[in-house]
């Protein structure tokens, strides 16, 4: 029975902390966009022409320009 005097306030304190953390995250916009972060790593930010130039070795670029 004496365990309840420790366990119940600890459970209420942890539950309240979790609720507070959830409310803070929601207000800061943490859950506004759930799809973009999952596919952000798949999006290449460089233009296609720049990617093509970076894949060609430097010696081939020089010979093509001449």
> d(Cα 23, Cα 5) in Å, to the nearest integer?
28
Q: What is the mean pLDDT of residues 14-38?
A: 91
> d(Cα 46, Cα 27) in Å, to the nearest integer?
33
Q: What is the pLDDT of residues 35-46, one digit of tens each?
A: 887 788 787 776
Nearest to 51 by CA among 43, 62, 59: 43
> d(Cα 52, Cα 9) in Å, to the nearest integer?
62
Kindly state the tokens that stand for 22.
């959830």
Q: What is the mean pLDDT of residues 3-14?
A: 96
- Look at residue 11 and tell me whether its pLDDT is greater than 70: yes
Q: What is the mean pLDDT of residues 20-45?
A: 86
pTM for this prediction:
0.51
């Amino acid at each position: 029975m004496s365990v309840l005097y420790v366990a119940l306030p600890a459970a209420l304190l942890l539950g309240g902390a979790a609720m507070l953390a959830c409310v803070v995250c929601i207000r800061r916009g943490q859950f506004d966009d759930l799809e973009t972060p999952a596919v952000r790593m798949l999006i290449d930010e460089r233009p296609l022409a720049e990617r093509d130039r970076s894949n060609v070795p430097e010696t081939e670029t020089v010979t093509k320009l001449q």
